[in-house]
């Protein structure tokens, strides 16, 4: 769903020479966050606090300029007791090793233009550079792309499906939360030639934190509690991103669930008749297990995944079934929308781009109960 909050930053002088992409830092990587007062920004701060190589030196959040981070997010007080939000100035961020952008859709492009190739890596959690075709932006985002010349310059940041493009990258376009869940579920089958890539159906439910921190009438407690509703019918803006990431034509229907975090995506596709002699449930589970055998953040299991199992973790839990009666393949995917679906995925990408251990600072164990 959407990241939020526009630019603004805190004081802190930037290093004149950023960590060279593709090398391991001898000193801590100096990190900044623009849009740090939103939920994705707060999650970035939480993950950065536990990262062995990150030193957060500049943060931004226009609606909270002058406020202390600890006042907005008491959970961050132990690590960021003196940190305050202040107005965005690109010169504060120039020269840093990594700058993360947690801005609204179509708001990050000018900031990327400010910082691209002036920092070690600019990591955009917004939608501005996810789609490679500029013609899709007027249709799905209601406006022409402001900087089409930069489209394709920032590789798509889903490491499990395209890690090599991220190594040494000067910028990364981090996927949306729904596309992350859907692409990790479907890509092994689409890339392996096991399914028809037309007529794929995706039903996915997200927790309310995916709508951002800003109050909205449909995301208040009294609206969400004891309710379950579909939205974005036929025209949700993540549709073309899912199609680009999976290579499938999809009918995507998102739902708002009465929970804070998590996404559960249920994906339906038609197996090809000659795929592994017809494709059974065991075959489908084997496709997932083989595809993700070396991936530290993907868990494949026969049991249906739980969103609660991913709470606070940078993991994606997957399972699959093939129904011999109807002939459908069903692939289920669970993630924490704020971690693997946003900030955790962004840190994973930054680690790769900067030559740091990919798993650094990223939890794999969910919180229970």
pLDDT tier, 17 (very low <50, low <70, confident <90, very high otherwise): very low
CATH architecture of 29-175+341-354: 3-Layer(aba) Sandwich (3.40)
Measured CA to CA in angstroms, residue 50 lies from 5, 54, 56, 243, 362 at distances of 24, 8, 11, 34, 8
Beta-strand (E) ranges in the chain? 29-34, 54-59, 98-101, 121-124, 171-173, 200-206, 229-230, 250-256, 263-269, 298-300, 316-322, 329-335
pLDDT tier, 277 (very low <50, low <70, confident <90, very high otherwise): low
Residue 25's φ and ψ, nearest 5 degrees, are -70, 130
Residue 299's φ and ψ, nearest 5 degrees, are -115, 125
CA 40/CA 45 separation, integer angstroms: 9
Kindly tell me if the per-residue pLDDT of 275 is higher than 70.
no
pLDDT at 26: 57
CA 281/CA 287 separation, integer angstroms: 10
Conformation bin of residue 312: beta by default, left when phi > 0, alpha when psi is -120 to 50: left
Between 26-30, 237-241, 253-257, 292-296, the lowest mean confidence (pLDDT) is in 26-30
CA 231/CA 2 separation, integer angstroms: 14
Residue-range domain boundaries for the chain: 29-175+341-354, 178-337
**Which two structure tokens, joined as six digits, stand for 265?**
């995506």
Let me know: does 311 contact 197? Beta carbons within 8 Å. Answer: no
Average pLDDT over residues 238-242: 96
Between 24-38, 172-186, 317-331, the lowest mean confidence (pLDDT) is in 24-38
**Active-site residue among 177, 248, 267, 316?**
177
DSSP-based three-state secondary structure for 200? strand
Kindly tell me if the per-residue pLDDT of 354 is higher than 90.
yes
**316 catalytic per annotation:** no
Between 25-29, 295-299, 303-307, 328-332, the lowest mean confidence (pLDDT) is in 25-29
pLDDT at 274: 62
pLDDT in tens, 99-142: 999 998 889 999 999 999 999 999 999 999 999 999 999 999 98
Overall fold of domain 178-337: Dihydrodipicolinate Reductase; domain 2 (3.30.360)
Conformation bin of residue 232: beta by default, left when phi > 0, alpha when psi is -120 to 50: left
pLDDT tier, 15 (very low <50, low <70, confident <90, very high otherwise): very low
> Any idea of the CA torsion for 287, 291, 292, 298, to the nearest 10 degrees?
-60
Minimal CA–CA distance to 353: which of 16, 17, 24, 27? 24
pLDDT in tens, 150-163: 988 999 999 999 99
């Amino acid at each position: 769903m959407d990241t939020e909050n526009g630019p603004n930053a805190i004081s802190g002088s930037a290093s004149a020479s950023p960590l060279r992409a593709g090398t391991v830092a001898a000193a801590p990587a100096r990190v900044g966050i623009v849009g740090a007062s939103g939920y994705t920004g707060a999650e970035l701060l939480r993950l950065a606090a536990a990262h062995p190589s990150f030193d957060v030196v500049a943060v931004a959040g226009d609606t909270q300029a002058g406020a202390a981070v600890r006042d907005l997010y008491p959970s961050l007080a132990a690590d960021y007791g003196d940190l305050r939000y202040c107005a965005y100035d690109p010169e504060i961020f120039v020269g840093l090793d990594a700058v993360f952008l947690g801005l609204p859709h179509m708001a990050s492009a000018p900031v990327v233009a400010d910082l691209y190739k002036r920092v070690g890596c600019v990591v955009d959690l917004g939608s501005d550079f996810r789609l490679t075709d500029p013609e899709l932006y007027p249709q799905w985002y209601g406006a022409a792309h402001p900087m089409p010349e930069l489209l394709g310059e920032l590789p798509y940041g889903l490491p499990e499906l395209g890690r090599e493009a991220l190594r040494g990258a000067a910028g990364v376009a981090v996927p949306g939360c729904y596309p992350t869940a859907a692409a990790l579920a479907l890509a092994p089958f689409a890339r392996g030639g096991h399914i028809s890539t037309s007529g794929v159906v995706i039903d996915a439910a997200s927790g309310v934190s995916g709508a951002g921190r800003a109050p909205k009438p449909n995301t208040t407690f009294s609206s969400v509690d004891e309710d379950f509703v579909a939205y974005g019918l036929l025209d949700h803006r993540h549709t073309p991103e899912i199609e680009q990431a999976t290579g499938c034509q999809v009918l995507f229907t998102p739902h708002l669930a009465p929970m804070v975090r998590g996404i559960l995506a249920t994906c339906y596709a038609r197996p090809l008749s000659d795929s592994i002699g017809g494709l059974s449930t065991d075959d489908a589970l084997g496709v997932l297990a083989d595809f993700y055998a070396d991936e530290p953040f993907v868990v494949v299991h026969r049991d249906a995944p739980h969103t609660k199992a991913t709470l606070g973790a940078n993991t994606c839990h997957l399972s699959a079934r093939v129904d011999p009666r109807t002939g459908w393949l069903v692939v289920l995917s669970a993630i924490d929308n704020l971690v693997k679906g946003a900030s955790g995925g962004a840190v994973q990408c930054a680690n790769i781009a900067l030559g740091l251990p990919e798993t650094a600072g990223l939890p794999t164990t969910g919180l229970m109960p």
